[in-house]
Structure 1
Amino acid sequence: MANLNEIIQWCDQTLKSHEFKDYAPNGLQIEGKSEVKKILCAVTASQTAIDAAIAYGADLLLVHHGYFWKGEPYPITGMRGKRIKSLIQHDISLVGYHLPLDSHPTIGNNAAIADLLELEHIQALDPNERNPIGNIGYLKSAMSPEAFKQFASEKLGFDAIHLPADKTSIQKVGFCTGGAQDYIKKAADQDCDAYISGEVSERTFYEAQELNVHYYACGHHATEKYGVQRLAKAISEQFNIEYSYFELNNPI
């Protein structure tokens, strides 16, 4: 058992959440029990994830995609109202970390992608960022664009969408998980051979061609399911409490 506020303080310090300008609040979003025995982690605070937390007997639901995003309407009604009501009725805290969990050099989503793809010599995608949201890494051996598509698909468990460029070989790879397809411009500025993110837009097809950077869309969910697991594991080890991961099976 651990104190909720102590867990949040430790997470905030570990992830340096105060250093980020984000699209939603990081940390405690809905306050439940003051003492935490069990944590369930999931990528998104969907109703199915909340139901799983209730069934698991969790005191805390840890997610990457929480609530209260900029531009959302203020009234707590409809689908979001039902979700929040479920959490409050069962006294479950909702804790979400967005950009800080993408960025962290060992726990983060990008760090996990680098590990899975066996990338080396990791550096910032944008050298001007204090806490880089995206990164660059190098394959141990160069691959053809087709071989890299197969490699990335196998490693990330997602049938990657490949938008081709003219380059015949890939070794320098830019990457940023989730919906960061527009960072392909940053990858081009850094002379990357390829760029990986989660989603893809219609415009990305042309950008890959004209910027001469192979683009691989590897799934928003598929690229961002590792950070919450790494963070939950770290919390479990720090505070000696139980945790479990709920897989949402989101194909996007």
Structure 2
Amino acid sequence: MVTLGKLSLGLFEYLDVASVKDYCPNGLQVEGKKEIGKVITGVSACMELFTAARDMNADAIVVHHGILWDTGEKTIRGSMKERVKFLLDNDISLLAYHLPLDRHPEVGNNVQIAHTLGLEQLKPFGEYNGKSIGRSGQMPEAMSIERFMDNVRSTINSAARCHAFGPAELNHVAICSGGCQTLFHQAIKDGADLFITGEDSEWIYHLAREEKVHYVAAGHHASERFGPIALGEWIAENMDVEVDFVDIPNPL
């Protein structure tokens, strides 16, 4: 068992929450019971995840996408009411870590993707509010785009899409999970052969074609499973709690 306060403080310090300006509150969003014996991690807060947590007798949920956002709903009604009520009725805490979990050098979404794809010589990439949130690196040896995409589709998302306009063999890869389409410009300036993120946009196609840089949209949800999984492993190793990752499918 661990107290909610110790869990919250431990994650605040480990993820260096104070170091980056975000557009949501990072940390505790809904307070449940004080003693935590089981934690569920997931990508996005939703009723399906909350129900799974209750059915698995979890005391706390740790996610990448919480329920509170600077531009989100400011009143407790509709689905927000149902979500908050469910958590309070079941005494389950909700903690969320957005950009701190994207950019973390050990358990972050982007560094974990880089390791999964076998990249070496990793460097910070992709600035947001003066802080790097992504990662870039080199392939250990030049790889064809076909082989690279086979790897992406087998490890990240079988439905990943690629605008394959870059070199036949690639070395330099830039990564920023989720909805980081605008960082494609930085990847181009940095000389990347390929940029991988979660989402796609209409304007990407012609830019990739004209700049001769590959663009991979691996899915917002799919590209952001890595951080919650790795963070859950860290929690299990460093806190006296049981942890399970629950993947609620999302095709986007």
Pairwise TM-score range, normalised by the shorter structure: over 0.9
Question: Residues 69-148 of structure 1 correspond to what in structure 2 (within 5 A)?
Answer: 69-126=69-126, 131-148=131-148
Residue pair 2:60, 2:93 contacting (<8 A) in 1 also: yes
Residue number in structure 2 paired with 1:3: 3
Percent identity over the alignment?
Answer: 36
In structure 1, runs of 5+ residues without a counterpart are none
DSSP 3-state at the match of 2:58:
coil
1:114-137 Cα distance to aligned partner (Å, 9 max, x none): 111000000122479764201111
Alpha-carbon distance in structure 1 between the residues aligned to 2:169 and 2:111: 23
Alpha-carbon distance in structure 2 between the residues aligned to 1:3 and 1:96: 17
Distance apart, 1:168 and its partner CA: 2.4
Residue pair 1:184, 1:213 contacting (<8 A) in 2 also: no
Question: Residues 1-252 of structure 1 correspond to what in structure 2 (within 5 A)?
Answer: 1-126=1-126, 131-252=131-252
Greater shift in the superposed pair: 123-132 or 83-92: 123-132
Residue pair 1:24, 1:70 contacting (<8 A) in 2 also: yes
DSSP 3-state at the match of 2:243:
strand
In structure 2, runs of 5+ residues without a counterpart are none
Alpha-carbon distance in structure 1 between the residues aligned to 2:123 and 2:156: 21
Residue pair 2:157, 2:219 contacting (<8 A) in 1 also: no
Instruction: Give the direction of change, closer, same or farther, for the CA distance of 1:74–1:163 in structure 2 (3 Å limit).
Output: same
Distance apart, 1:155 and its partner CA: 2.2
Residue pair 1:39, 1:62 contacting (<8 A) in 2 also: yes
| TM-score, structure 1 as length reference | 0.96
Residue pair 1:16, 1:100 contacting (<8 A) in 2 also: yes
Alpha-carbon distance in structure 2 between the residues aligned to 1:235 and 1:182: 32
Kindly provide the amino acid, as one letter, of the partner of residue 108 in structure 1.
G
Q: Which runs of 4+ in 1 moved over 6 A?
A: 127-130
Alpha-carbon distance in structure 2 between the residues aligned to 1:173 and 1:246: 29
Alpha-carbon distance in structure 2 between the residues aligned to 1:211 and 1:89: 53
Greater shift in the superposed pair: 196-205 or 151-160: 151-160
Residue pair 1:158, 1:219 contacting (<8 A) in 2 also: no
1:71-97 Cα distance to aligned partner (Å, 9 max, x none): 113111111211111001111100000
* CA-atom RMSD in angstroms: 1.5
Distance apart, 1:149 and its partner CA: 1.6
Alpha-carbon distance in structure 2 between the residues aligned to 1:128 and 1:45: 23
